[in-house]
Chains A and B, each alone.
Chain A
Amino acid sequence: MVALSIGEKYFIQGGIAQDLRGDGRKRLTPRPIYVETGVISQSNGSARVRMGATEVIASVKAELGRPSALHPDKGKVSIYVDCSPTAAPTFEGRGGEELSTELSVALQRCLLGGKSGSGAGIDLSSLAIVEGKICWDLYIEGLVVSSDGNLLDALGAAIKAALSNTGIPRVNVAAGASGDEQPEVDVSDEEFLQFDTSKVPVIVTLTKVGRHYIVDATSEEESQMSSAVSISVNRRGNICGLTKRGGAGLDSSVILDMISVAQSISEQLINTLDSQIAAAEAGEDES
């Protein structure tokens, strides 16, 4: 919780009303975003994303598993977020648990699509190896290192970057296995397949303070919010998931307005993120 005096609160609210926020940004200007990939060498892919004082790390680990009976031709993805006690004193002990669950559920909703698997940002069919027998299980983990608001957007960006950085080993299936037997596989440690992340959406959270809403709120600004809507948008401009946070009600026309604003912002965000990821990948290759 951010403790603010009445004057500070008034300053934040007044600034937002006049389209000039405390750090000089306009209402719909996000903070600059910095991406660094390959930060965890043990994982198959990882990325660190910084937006102002918010810093998150995402890592992707691929393991061989068995597909579920319901979707034999698809792999499985699990997303889990941990809020480190180093990020904020309230995360100590079990304090971060509720926020962790909330962020995990929101990310799953935004990235994994409907129950039938359609509309998923991550193409689950590409994770299948032998139908009904073997598939890749992706374990995506997010870690909040430092928290200054807008965690969900940062985590979404970090996961997109980590997936771009992910190389999944090529698997050769030994021929001849039939029936109930589990086929033998040979996991290559030299050949890697690049993961297609063009369909992975970005998340834009619009935080409503007073009568206006802002993007990329800092935690001070978040403490003044009445409600927030997190919208994930893919490159085609379609909505891939939406979560409302905060208690106060919203008029439905305001929500539709927020969706269209999120769509236009997401376009810039995807482009910035893509160029940042490309630069980070290039930087990593050189070093």
Chain B
Amino acid sequence: MAGQAGGTPSTYSPSPTTRKTKSLILRNDDVDWVRTDGREFHQCRPAFFKTGAVNAAAGSAYAEFGNTKVIVSVFGPRESKKAMMYSDIGRLNCNVSYTTFATSVRGQGSDHKEFSSMLHKALEGAIILESFPKTTVDVFALVLESGGSDLPVVISCASLALADAGIMMYDLVASVSVSCLGKNLVIDPVLEEESYQDGSLMLTCMPSRYEVTQLTITGEWSTPKINEGMQICLDACAKLATIMRECLKGPDSALEE
């Protein structure tokens, strides 16, 4: 829909394509480097949650972790699609999309096809599907701005939106990821750290039951390192869940340093 007649001309972003080399951001195995935003290795970004962001939805939540901003709306339980067969338990339908301006280069957020199914798997185990037979609950997420650790933020925000919609759940679902950079594990990585990571571990759990609903690992990990990574994530999830719980309880949103 260009303002001029004829087809849209090809355009490019004027941002410099040469990126900082890895050593500039982190001096590899040096233990003392500082993270770009000044956080400690095991310190999460300040988390901000707010329920009821979208009035048109049955339940919704907005989450902001640094530059990562997402909105999740929940619709239903409502009639399943006509083509669906009878089911004595409810269905969960998830979709994650990005705005065109979420990434630094326009329209790059589309390569996250698997996020929808990963969100589905992370939530499925926490929802009491038996409580809404024959119907569907739709969970739609929109990443307004991508600033790293997008999927964990979407998952935590979605569970809050489900709670806001009054969908029965065993527990809230909190999700945190760690990146492995050299010898160090950094929690809640930002986009820059994610693009240089040697490996990553994302853990989703129901904190009050200490149950892991989703775990993905990439990169090469030794067993003690996995132990360490999982423990860091579990601790952070428990903290995150208290913030989420606060947000549900009080009218004012919770904020944590």
- A residues with CB within 8 A of B: 69-70, 98, 101-102, 105, 109, 112-116, 118-119, 227, 229, 234, 237-252, 255-256, 259-260, 263
* Distance A30 CA – B249 CA, assembled complex (angstroms): 50
Q: What residues of A have a CB within 8 angstroms of the CB of B226 in the complex?
A: 239, 256, 259
Q: What residues of A have a CB within 8 angstroms of the CB of B113 in the complex?
A: 101
* Distance A239 CA – B180 CA, assembled complex (angstroms): 13
Say yes or no: A119-B211 contact (C-beta < 8 A), given A114-B197, A239-B226: no
User: Interface on chain A toward B: helix, strand, loop, or mixed SS?
Assistant: mixed
Q: What residues of A have a CB within 8 angstroms of the CB of B222 in the complex?
A: 238-239
In contact, B215 and A255 (Cβ under 8 angstroms): yes
In contact, A113 and B213 (Cβ under 8 angstroms): no
Say yes or no: A114-B219 contact (C-beta < 8 A), given A101-B113, A249-B206: yes
Q: How many residues of B contact A (CB 8 A)?
A: 39
* Distance A237 CA – B224 CA, assembled complex (angstroms): 12
In contact, A251 and B195 (Cβ under 8 angstroms): no
In contact, B196 and A242 (Cβ under 8 angstroms): no
In contact, B198 and A260 (Cβ under 8 angstroms): no
B13 at the interface (CB under 8 A from A): no
In contact, A252 and B221 (Cβ under 8 angstroms): no
B44 at the interface (CB under 8 A from A): no
Return the contact of B220 from the options A101, A102, A229, A240 (Cβ within 8 A). Answer: A240
Q: What residues of B have a CB within 8 angstroms of the CB of A248 in the complex?
A: 125, 213
* Distance A101 CA – B116 CA, assembled complex (angstroms): 11
In contact, B211 and A251 (Cβ under 8 angstroms): yes
A270 to chain B, nearest CB (A): 15
In contact, A241 and B230 (Cβ under 8 angstroms): no
In contact, B230 and A250 (Cβ under 8 angstroms): no
In contact, A251 and B210 (Cβ under 8 angstroms): yes
Q: What residues of A have a CB within 8 angstroms of the CB of B114 in the complex?
A: 101-102, 105
A124 to chain B, nearest CB (A): 13
Return the contact of A255 from the options B209, B212, B221 (Cβ within 8 A). Answer: B212
B103 to chain A, nearest CB (A): 14
A213 to chain B, nearest CB (A): 14
B141 to chain A, nearest CB (A): 18
In contact, B212 and A250 (Cβ under 8 angstroms): yes
Q: Mark B198-238, 1 if CB is under 8 A from A, else 0.
A: 11100001100111111111111111001100100010000
Q: What residues of B have a CB within 8 angstroms of the CB of A238 in the complex?
A: 220-222
B196 to chain A, nearest CB (A): 5
Say yes or no: A252-B219 contact (C-beta < 8 A), given A101-B113, A101-B117, A102-B117: no
**Could you list 6 A-B pairs, sorted by A, with CB under 8 Å?**
A109-B218, A119-B221, A245-B121, A249-B213, A251-B212, A255-B230
In contact, A263 and B125 (Cβ under 8 angstroms): no
In contact, B126 and A241 (Cβ under 8 angstroms): no
Say yes or no: A244-B218 contact (C-beta < 8 A), given A114-B200, A256-B226: no
In contact, B121 and A98 (Cβ under 8 angstroms): no
In contact, A249 and B209 (Cβ under 8 angstroms): yes
In contact, A247 and B213 (Cβ under 8 angstroms): yes
> Closest residue of chain B to A105, judged by CB?
B114
A114 to chain B, nearest CB (A): 3
Besides A234-B220, A249-B213, 6 more A-B contacts (Cβ < 8 Å) are A119-B198, A244-B215, A249-B212, A250-B212, A255-B215, A259-B226
> Closest residue of chain B to A240, judged by CB?
B220
> Closest residue of chain A to B120, judged by CB?
A247
B19 at the interface (CB under 8 A from A): yes
* Distance A105 CA – B222 CA, assembled complex (angstroms): 22
B17 at the interface (CB under 8 A from A): yes
Q: What residues of B have a CB within 8 angstroms of the CB of A113 in the complex?
A: 198-199, 218-220
Q: What residues of A have a CB within 8 angstroms of the CB of B64 in the complex?
A: none
Q: What residues of B have a CB within 8 angstroms of the CB of A242 in the complex?
A: 215-217
* Distance A237 CA – B220 CA, assembled complex (angstroms): 10
B149 to chain A, nearest CB (A): 13
B106 at the interface (CB under 8 A from A): no
